[in-house]
Every structure is written in structure tokens, then in C-alpha cells.
């Protein structure tokens, strides 16, 4: 496995793999790898011959008062995990490599970035789409793998790829959960044991909501109220949003049906957690 810091070296190694007839799979990450990331790497290995993982904590997707500085960066452990999981190339650039000068060019997907997480994180998705566009230009993958946990991110990236006629396919993989149901996230590491215990209510609220839908409830307001009631079992939880939207347009809908996305964001102290279910 190669661990590379420069764009030119990545380009030439990927070019060589492609000239050997290999398909290229790409897993973009910000590191602090957990089972969720590893499931994306496994999916990439199943579908592709040559797997590239980027580890880059992208500053342009963090707001001024967000956790850029304290975001975990266990790079040696991450590299070991990549090696164990048959990654061919790890791209671990410095910020100066990715943003050589002040960035004047941005990729901005409109509308679907203004709701859900976009309401409280104004430039977040612009940072995500810009860095993903840059990474896609560097790696030129055939397939890129994203997790369903960041449902809005997956929808936004798919839209960017479609609108800009980018030559790759986005593969979205299922959420990986801890034993108590909490969706795996690098930010779970911020939680104290007491906060971690209460964080499981996020999944419980979505499970209760699924049961309600299975019993025939379709009204978005009733479902939202039930999620809020479950979350209110913990005084530590502050609800940021509970959104019931169409999975593609991300527009609010009054009645759930197949293809509805139910997405929730909460804060426990300074830690922001998100989760979602898709109605099938
Ligand atoms: O999901 C993430 O970890 C990041 O948003 C991504 C896609 C690696 C872009 O920095």
C-alpha cells in the first residue's frame, strides 16, 4: 500500500493502475476511521480493482465555531486500518497541498444544501462539494463510496456529479451502527459515558417512528411529535431538526410514503449527531 501526500504522485499511480486495466474505487474520508468507513472500503474492494482512500480533514467545510481544531487525527492507526483492509493507496495531503492558494473557485449545489444540516451550517456543503470535486479530479475514480448516515451529503454529491456530468458513479452504503443502535461517527468519540448512553435515544426515536409508520401512521406532524417525545427522555439532548422530506428533492412533505427520508440532528453538549431512516 502506498501512502502519498502529493497530488502529482496520486495522479501517476492511479494512471498506472488504470493503464493496467484496473477499475478505480475511491473512499473520501476525514480519517478517524471506524467500522462505517471500513464498510465503504470493503464495498469498494468488492466492486473495484484498485482502491484509493483519502484522509483529509477539509477546513472549508467547517464553520468558524466548529470542531476543526479538535477533530480527531489518529493518522497512524488509520493507515494501519487501511493496510489491513486491502487499500491500495492512501492519499493524505496537507492543507497546503489541497489549497495551494486562497480558494477562489467553489462548487455550490443550490437549494438542497439550504435545508436540514445546511440551515445551521451555512457553507458546509459548499466546502464538501468543492473538496469532493477536487478529489474526484485528482483520483478520477470510476466509483466513489459514501455512507447513508450523511444522507444529505450523499444526495448533494450525487446531484453535483449529475449536474456537472462528472464521469463516475456514486455508491451509497448502509449505515453501520453500534450495539445500541447509535450510528457510527468519528464525532461519537467526543461523548462522555453519560452522553454516549443518552445518544442511543436518537436511534430509538427513529425505531419508534418506523413502528408508528408500520402501524399505518402517515402524518408527518404526528411522526415528528413522536420523535421529539422520545428524544425528550434525555435532558442532555437538544433537537436541532426533525425533517420529513422527499429523498431526492429534500423538500418537506406532509405525508410519508415510499422514498421519504426522515432525518434528525441533535446536539448533546457541543457534539452534533445526525441519523436518518428511509421509508420503503
Ligand atoms: O463525509 C466526510 O467525511 C466528508 O464530508 C468528506 C466526504 C470526506 C469530504 O471532506
pLDDT tens digits, 55-91: 999 999 999 999 999 999 999 999 999 999 999 999 9
**Could you say which of 1.10.1060.10, 3.40.50.620, 1.10.10.10, 3.30.1360.200 is the CATH number of the domain covering 2-173?**
3.40.50.620
Domain range list for the chain: 2-173, 186-275
First to last CA, the chain: 40
CATH architecture assigned to 186-275: 2-Layer Sandwich (3.30)
Three-state DSSP at 34 gives coil
For residues 279 and 203, what is the distance between their CA atoms, to the nearest angstrom? 15
Cell for 119?
A: 440551515
**CB of 128 shorter than 6 A to ligand 1:** yes
For residues 167 and 143, what is the distance between their CA atoms, to the nearest angstrom? 9
pLDDT at 280: 87
Q: Which of 189, 172, 174, 173 is nearest to 273 (CA)?
A: 189
Does the CA dihedral 259-157-173-37 come out positive or negative?
A: negative
For residues 252 and 247, what is the distance between their CA atoms, to the nearest angstrom? 10
Q: Are 216 and 249 in contact (CB under 8 A)?
A: no
pLDDT over 90 at 193, yes or no? yes
Core vs surface per residue 147-185: b (16+ CB within 10 A) or e: bbbbbbbbbbbbbbbeeeebebebbbbebbbbeebbbbb
Q: Whose CA is nearest to atom 6 of ligand 1?
A: 29
Query: What tens digit of pLDDT does each residue of 211-267 get?
Result: 999 999 999 999 999 999 999 999 999 999 999 999 999 999 999 999 999 999 999
**Mean pLDDT to the nearest integer, 154-168:** 98
Q: Whose CA is nearest to atom 9 of ligand 1?
A: 128
Q: Whose CA is nearest to atom 1 of ligand 1?
A: 29
**CB of 131 shorter than 6 A to ligand 1:** yes
Confidence of residue 143 (pLDDT cuts 50, 70, 90): very high
Torsion on CA atoms 119, 123, 124, 130, rounded to nearest 10 = 140
d(CA 28, ligand 1 centre) in Å: 6
Residue from 26, 27, 30 to probe ligand 1 pocket by mutation (most atoms less than 8 Å from CB): 30
Q: Which residues are catalytic?
A: 37
Confidence of residue 31 (pLDDT cuts 50, 70, 90): very high
Tell me whether the CATH fold assigned to 2-173 matches the one assigned to 186-275: no
**Mean pLDDT to the nearest integer, 131-143:** 98
DSSP classification of residue 65: T
- Ligand 1 atom with the smallest distance to the CA of 58 is 10
pLDDT at 42: 98
The mean pLDDT value of the chain amounts to 97
Amino acid at each position: 500500500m502506498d501512502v502519498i501526500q502529493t497530488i502529482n504522485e496520486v495522479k501517476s499511480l492511479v494512471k498506472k493502475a488504470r493503464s493496467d486495466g484496473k477499475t478505480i474505487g475511491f473512499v473520501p474520508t476525514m480519517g478517524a476511521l471506524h467500522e462505517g468507513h471500513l464498510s465503504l472500503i470493503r464495498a469498494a474492494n468488492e466492486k473495484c480493482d484498485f482502491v484509493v482512500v483519502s484522509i483529509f480533514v477539509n477546513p472549508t467545510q467547517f464553520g468558524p465555531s466548529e470542531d476543526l481544531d479538535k477533530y480527531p487525527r489518529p493518522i497512524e492507526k488509520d493507515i494501519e486500518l487501511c493496510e489491513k483492509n486491502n487499500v491500495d493507496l492512501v492519499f493524505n495531503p496537507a492543507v497546503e497541498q489541497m489549497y495551494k492558494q486562497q480558494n477562489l473557485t467553489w462548487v455550490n449545489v443550490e437549494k438542497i444544501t439550504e435545508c436540514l444540516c445546511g440551515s445551521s451550517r451555512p457553507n458546509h456543503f459548499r466546502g464538501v462539494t468543492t473538496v469532493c470535486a477536487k478529489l474526484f479530479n485528482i483520483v478520477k475514480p470510476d466509483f466513489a463510496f459514501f455512507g447513508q448516515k450523511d444522507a444529505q451529503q450523499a444526495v448533494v454529491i450525487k446531484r453535483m456529479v449529475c449536474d456537472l456530468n462528472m464521469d463516475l458513479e456514486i455508491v451509497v452504503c448502509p449505515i453501520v451502527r453500534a450495539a445500541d443502535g447509535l450510528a457510527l461517527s468519528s464525532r461519537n468519540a467526543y461523548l462522555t459515558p453519560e452522553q454516549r448512553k443518552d445518544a442511543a435515544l436518537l436511534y430509538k426515536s427513529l425505531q419508534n417512528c418506523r413502528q408508528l409508520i408500520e402501524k399505518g401512521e402517515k402524518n408527518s406532524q404526528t411522526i415528528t411529535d413522536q420523535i421529539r417525545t422520545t428524544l425528550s427522555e434525555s435532558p442532555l439532548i437538544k433537537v436541532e431538526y426533525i425533517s420529513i422530506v422527499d429523498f431526492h428533492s429534500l423538500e418537506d412533505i406532509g405525508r410519508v410514503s415510499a422514498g421519504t427520508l426522515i432525518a434528525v440532528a441533535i446536539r448533546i453538549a457541543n457534539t452534533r449527531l445526525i441519523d436518518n431512516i428511509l421509508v420503503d
